[in-house]
Structure 1
């Protein structure tokens, strides 16, 4: 009798990534990955002990691929901004994993490479060493939150997205000016949250980095 095929970690991750592209994270499971491979779950548990561990590995592989060709350039703010946009672009191609990355965090080499770049950039900013970890955590939280929020909108079907925009227009333009005077005042200038994500991403990150720069100068 022929022995059961042994799947490599990369083969499992390839199939799992493809499965995630066509299904929601909530319905994703080790059992479904095993079924797609034509095997049973027990053969996969030698590589990944749980769905969470598998999602962490997938998210870390996204980070690792993004960082392979990354070359730091510019000052510390330019380095962090370039890194944030690189990670944002990487997860935009598989938005289902962005939420998993923000929720579970990864601990592989991809994650370490991102941490190393942010910490090195902050180290060249003029911040005292004892303040760098705190700033790193706030930057990581900000980037992960923004990417996960944007990814959540990216997984919504086009017809549902358009329906949401229409509901937004009705809610804003139809607001009673006596009850909602501020909404009525700015109605024609307000946009749904799904509008121009990159500009919002860059401006929010830039404002945060500017605060760090101001603190360095004041210090």
Structure 2
């Protein structure tokens, strides 16, 4: 009798990514992945020790894809901005995986590519060497948080999004002006959290880089 097919690491990761695109990291399991592949969980554990390691590898594939073909151009701020927008675009195509990166991080080739470029850009900025690691860390935390937040919105169904917007309107427009005077005053101008995300992303990143620039001797 023919044995079960042996799946390559790349095939496992591709199938896991597709499974995550139709679900989420919380409901994802190695057992479900094995069932889709028509094999047993033990065969997958030969490639990955646990679910977390597998999820990190899937997220790393997105980082690799984001940096594919990248060539550094411009000054240090332009390089970091270009890298950030590549990550945003890549995870925008796989929103379910954005939270995986934000939660689990990655330690593979994609992670090293991103780390190298951000560190190289900061190195070229003129910052003292001793400040660069902390600045790098803050940039990555900022990007992971913004991208994971966007991914959360992008995974909402149209019905869920409309329900959230309606609840926002009720909460804001119906605010008691005696208890929430500022909210009542700005009620018609305040917008739901998911609005203008691209503008917010650009402005927050630019403000952070300007703060770093101000610290350069």
Give the whole-Å Cα distance in 2 for the aligned partners of 1:182 and 1:56.
43
Corresponding residue of 1:9: 9
Give the whole-Å Cα distance in 1 for the aligned partners of 2:63 and 2:27.
23
Question: SS in structure 2 opposite 1:138?
Answer: helix
Check whether the contact 2:20–2:96 (CA below 8 A) recurs between aligned residues: yes
Question: SS in structure 2 opposite 1:124?
Answer: helix
1:89 and 2:75 correspond: no
1:126 and 2:92 correspond: no
* Structure 1 residue 166 displacement after superposition: 1.1
Give the whole-Å Cα distance in 2 for the aligned partners of 1:187 and 1:81.
33
Give the whole-Å Cα distance in 1 for the aligned partners of 2:82 and 2:169.
34
Runs of 4+ in 1 over 3 A off after TM superposition: none
* Structure 1 residue 30 displacement after superposition: 0.7
Give the whole-Å Cα distance in 2 for the aligned partners of 1:183 and 1:4.
62
Residues 70-89 of structure 1: pairs in structure 2 closer than 5 A: 70-89=70-89
Mark the runs of 5 or more structure 1 residues left unpaired by the alignment. Answer: none
Output the aligned Cα RMSD. 0.9
Corresponding residue of 1:196: 196
* Structure 1 residue 97 displacement after superposition: 1.0
Give the whole-Å Cα distance in 2 for the aligned partners of 1:196 and 1:71.
29
* TM-score (structure 1 length as normaliser): 0.97
Counting matched residue pairs gives 217
* TM-score (structure 2 length as normaliser): 0.98
* Structure 1 residue 155 displacement after superposition: 1.2
1:66 and 2:66 correspond: yes
Corresponding residue of 1:139: 139
Question: SS in structure 2 opposite 1:189?
Answer: coil
Give the whole-Å Cα distance in 2 for the aligned partners of 1:75 and 1:5.
50
Residues 204-215 of structure 1: pairs in structure 2 closer than 5 A: 204-215=204-215
Give the whole-Å Cα distance in 1 for the aligned partners of 2:68 and 2:156.
30
